[in-house]
Amino acid sequence: DTGVSQDPRHKITKRGQNVTFRCDPISEHNRLYWYRQTLGQGPEFLTYFQNEAQLEKSRLLSDRFSAERPKGSFSTLEIQRTEQGDSAMYLCASSLPSGGRGVANYYEQYFGPGTRLTVT
């Protein structure tokens, strides 16, 4: 499978614990994105990387959240001192370094299967 992969697929943790998720993008994609989705809502942007550089962070990304992409390949998202409100699906996406389908300005993002986090 050459798509975006995420690990683990499911995580149940107790409030106050730290959790870390991993994302492996499509191999030739240099942009990697993290989103969070709660029930009944569309995904909400958290942060994105171009290669190893973190270029943008959403205000949703509180101090308890940190993301890294140390070698410009896989990325990790860590949540410290989890809260019940952190329960959500965490989605990773990646895109090509230029517009998809030969069209400029269209960075089509492809999503992984997500990590479903439940904080009890």
* CB of 81 vs other proteins, minimal distance in Å: 25
Could you tell me which of 85, 115, 119, 83 has the C-alpha nearest to residue 10?
A: 115
Which structure tokens are listed for 110?
Answer: 């492809």
Nearer to other proteins, 39 or 70 (CB): 39
* CB of 111 vs other proteins, minimal distance in Å: 4
* CB of 80 vs other proteins, minimal distance in Å: 23
3-state secondary structure the chain: CCCCEEECCEEEECCCCCEEEEEECCCCCCEEEEEEECCCCCCEEEEEEECCEEEEECCCCCCCEEEECCCCCCEEEEECCCCHHHCEEEEEEEECCCCHHHCCCCCCCEECCCEEEEEC
Nearer to other proteins, 41 or 84 (CB): 41
* CB of 69 vs other proteins, minimal distance in Å: 15
Nearer to other proteins, 14 or 53 (CB): 53
Nearer to other proteins, 44 or 83 (CB): 44
Residues lying near other proteins in the complex (CB under 8 A) are found at 31, 33, 35, 40-45, 48, 50, 55-56, 58, 91, 93, 95, 99-101, 103-114, 116
